[in-house]
Structure 1
Amino acid sequence: MNAAVGGPTEQRILHVFRAPVGGLFRHVLDLARIQASTGHQVGLVCDASTGGERAARALADLAPCLALGITRLPMRRNPHPSDFLTLRAVSRHAEAVGATVLHGHGAKGGVYARLAVVRGVDPIRAYTPHGGSYNYKPGTLSHRLYMSIERGLALRTDVFLFESEYVAGRHRAYAGDPYRITRIVHNGIADAEFAPVIPAEDRYDLLYIGELRDAKGVPFLLDALLRLRAAGYPLRLLMVGSGPDADLLAARVVEMGLGEAVAFEPPQAIRAVLARGRIMVVPSLAESLPYVVLEAAAACQPLVATNVGGIPEIFGPAASQLVPSRDGKALADAITKILDADPETTRLRFEALAASVKARFSMTRMGSDVLSGYAAALRARAEAARPAIASTMP
């Protein structure tokens, strides 16, 4: 493996995840580039049916960096009998490429990476949850089921690489294993993402960027918009994204009488979208450490977000500015505060947030911390093997 990981040869790292969309996908792409650039051989395994043309282009751009290639297999979001066939395919692929590290991302990727059977070598099993099953409400049947699965899978995990203190805390509370190596590896962004965004000439008042589903709190954003328009603010909202509730949300917009105030567009590069809006709103009900908040904060975008998951870790000293989730009135009040504030005050407020994010969320540090986690797991394996080797000596 690479000297950065504690040895003379490179690792053969296979990242396994389901959907090539959103922040999880960005995280994997960034990690793969960093690891390839530092001398490791890297490959990806992901779902064959999601992500569309945008994911296909991103994977094609990355492909020249990937010595172990890109393998796309059918993967379902929820548990399904076909998971056994996919697990067998992942196992065979990991064996064929000689993977020495299997890094699972998200709940489904974590299952495949940790249960894969690789003959001839037992790879290090790393797991980054990205929220996923840890976001279910404690006490519910779904939460109890998924946490019992996580407890079992912990026995097949060499190192947990949590992207936020929040998810690490949920793991300790409901699925923890004190004997497993754990690291907090915050998502990181590049210096170029802190460059100013040049505003478009015709801007929307509000922006939403993300999955179109109720779990992201979109109904509460629509409620806030309705309240603001009733209070005399003739605001327009641009919603950029896709998701399982897209048609339902579009119908709800019309039912609420907001058809002329809300526009929907497919996923696209975030900085181009930030240039088209004055205030970004993140109304999430649950999150881990969302890239969309990091990216908006880096660009000094005026931002209203809910106090959930790892978002307070991003805001740091400014976490008191966050609003409660599931509260359209609180969202509307926070938006009003920005609309009514002196522009210079708003500029200084979000420049301070950008400076704080730049100091704490480095892409370089993220890559180094992941490799450090692998190294710790490799050392633990080596130390565990020593007594067994010693006991066989005459």
Structure 2
Amino acid sequence: MRAPVGGLFRHVADLTRELTARGHSVGLVVDSLANDAQTESRLSDLLPHAALGIHRFAMPRLLGRGDLTTPFAVRRLARALDIDVMHGHGAKGGFYARLARLAGSKAAALYTPHGGVLHFSTSSVSGRIFHRLERALMAQTGAIIFESAYAQTIYSALIGAPTCPTEVIHNGLAPEEFVPVTALPDAADFAFVGELRELKGIHVLIDALVGLSLPDTRPATLVMAGDGAARAELEARISKLNLSQRVTLLGAQPARPTFAKGRIAVVPSLAESLPYVVLEAAAARLPVIATRVGGIPEIFGPTANSLVPAGDVAALRAAMQAALDQPAQAEAEMETRLRHIEQNFSLSVMADGIEALYQTVLGRA
């Protein structure tokens, strides 16, 4: 993987710990170009679970010198450690795992896009190069794992139907993440957790809050955990709409403690793949209001009819008001969604699927 941030790293970290617990030897290959204190802290936490070590090579975000040298370094590492499986995560991780095999590694190469190459436009030069590379490396790919059926569909539309085996294996949560979170006495009505940028629908959310009130006519309140480039613009919008007494910006905070500060989770994203925050909020026993984007309908399962169109202020406001007006109905929907997630989005189910696919690919090699 290129960088230990976001949902991609969360997935890799969970998989590393679970495979190690099952008796496998795991190592990590990460970028040496974009290190900071947070990166090193996260990798240090994983080191006890990485018996094969953590290895750093140059992985430029777009195109760079590392693209010519790192595949050969990965090939040498795979040979020295007698690796059976190389699993590339994200666009660059996927390229290096398969290029290493093209360069002479005998290890099976699997690939999970995590969005990655799917986010590159066909109208950009880098997008066309990456999409062409994807097609060229298909013959070196033992299997592609998609974290959602949505990602599988988008991949086929952009790259073409894969000629290698593919499987949808959803991200999963650990058992402790299904422990209910109890709302604090002074909890706000709604909670948002995510990066403060336009793509997360933050301005749609703020606009939707206008006019929302509880049955006792008290104006609805919102806490927002996260930071990002759009924070100043968001603060200006909150002030302009006279919402400063109703919206609390917490800065970057972990998800579970934030869920205790709000009674209903809102995920108003304009685009997503398979967001962990939806899984985490639902597992914590919060009602969730979300948009119909990416793999979110797969998470909502039998409750997907309640999803709202992305970017639609009126629809989001109506869904939020309904949750305030009909708490028993919101609670019942949460219970239905929870059962679906418990059955299909656990860490053990995720690891079972990936481990079985490794064995299948090795059996074909």
TM-score by length of 1: 0.81
State how 1:1-394 maps to structure 2 within 5 Å.
Answer: 17-48=1-32, 53-116=37-100, 121-135=105-119, 140-141=123-124, 146-226=130-210, 228=212, 234-254=219-239, 257-341=242-326, 343-381=327-365
Letter in 2 for 1:129: P
Q: CA deviation at 1:272?
A: 1.3
Letter in 2 for 1:18: R
Aligned residue for 1:384? none
Letter in 1 for 2:136: G
Paired with 1:211 and 1:45, the residues of 2 have a C-alpha distance of 26
Q: Give CA deviations for 1:195-252 in whole Å, capped at 9, x if unaligned.
A: 21121222122222122322222222222234548xx763333222344544554455
Range moving further from structure 2, 67-76 or 83-92: 83-92
Q: Give CA deviations for 1:314-342 in whole Å, capped at 9, x if unaligned.
A: 1111100000112122111111110111x
Letter in 1 for 2:276: Y
Structure 1 residues 247 and 350, CA, compared in 2 at 3 Å: closer, same or farther? Answer: same
Residue 26 of structure 2 aligns to a residue in which SS? strand
Gaps in structure 1 of 5+ consecutive residues: 1-16, 382-394
Residue 42 of structure 1 aligns to a residue in which SS? coil
Q: How many residues align?
A: 361
Aligned residue for 1:385? none
Structure 1 moving runs of 4+ over 6 Å: none
Q: CA deviation at 1:61?
A: 2.6
Q: CA deviation at 1:54?
A: 4.8
Structure 1 residues 70 and 226, CA, compared in 2 at 3 Å: closer, same or farther? Answer: farther
Q: CA deviation at 1:161?
A: 0.8
Contact 1:47 1:75 in 2 (8 A): yes
Structure 1 residues 309 and 145, CA, compared in 2 at 3 Å: closer, same or farther? Answer: farther
Aligned residue for 1:387? none
Paired with 1:287 and 1:45, the residues of 2 have a C-alpha distance of 26
Residue 278 of structure 1 aligns to a residue in which SS? strand
Q: CA deviation at 1:67?
A: 0.7
Q: Give CA deviations for 1:341-391 in whole Å, capped at 9, x if unaligned.
A: 1x333222211211121122221121111112112222222xxxxxxxxxx
Contact 1:207 1:237 in 2 (8 A): yes
Range moving further from structure 2, 213-222 or 34-43: 213-222
Contact 2:303 2:333 in 1 (8 A): no
Structure 1 residues 59 and 87, CA, compared in 2 at 3 Å: closer, same or farther? Answer: same
Residue 131 of structure 2 aligns to a residue in which SS? helix
Structure 1 residues 233 and 148, CA, compared in 2 at 3 Å: closer, same or farther? Answer: farther
Paired with 2:35 and 2:316, the residues of 1 have a C-alpha distance of 30
Paired with 1:84 and 1:63, the residues of 2 have a C-alpha distance of 27
Contact 2:287 2:334 in 1 (8 A): yes
Structure 1 residues 144 and 75, CA, compared in 2 at 3 Å: closer, same or farther? Answer: closer
Range moving further from structure 2, 65-74 or 242-251: 242-251
Range moving further from structure 2, 319-328 or 182-191: 182-191
Residue 222 of structure 1 aligns to a residue in which SS? helix
Contact 2:25 2:51 in 1 (8 A): yes
Letter in 2 for 1:147: H
Paired with 1:222 and 1:150, the residues of 2 have a C-alpha distance of 39
Range moving further from structure 2, 262-271 or 126-135: 262-271
Range moving further from structure 2, 103-112 or 249-258: 249-258
Residue 28 of structure 1 aligns to a residue in which SS? helix
Q: Give CA deviations for 1:145-182 in whole Å, capped at 9, x if unaligned.
A: 54333222323311101111111122223323443011
- Superposition RMSD in Å: 2.8
Residue 137 of structure 2 aligns to a residue in which SS? helix
Structure 1 residues 228 and 371, CA, compared in 2 at 3 Å: closer, same or farther? Answer: same
Paired with 1:180 and 1:337, the residues of 2 have a C-alpha distance of 46
Residue 116 of structure 1 aligns to a residue in which SS? helix
Paired with 2:178 and 2:35, the residues of 1 have a C-alpha distance of 27
Q: Give CA deviations for 1:267-307 in whole Å, capped at 9, x if unaligned.
A: 44321111111121111222222211111111121111010
Paired with 1:269 and 1:286, the residues of 2 have a C-alpha distance of 21
Paired with 1:269 and 1:49, the residues of 2 have a C-alpha distance of 26
Range moving further from structure 2, 165-174 or 306-315: 165-174
Paired with 2:240 and 2:69, the residues of 1 have a C-alpha distance of 43
Range moving further from structure 2, 213-222 or 144-153: 144-153
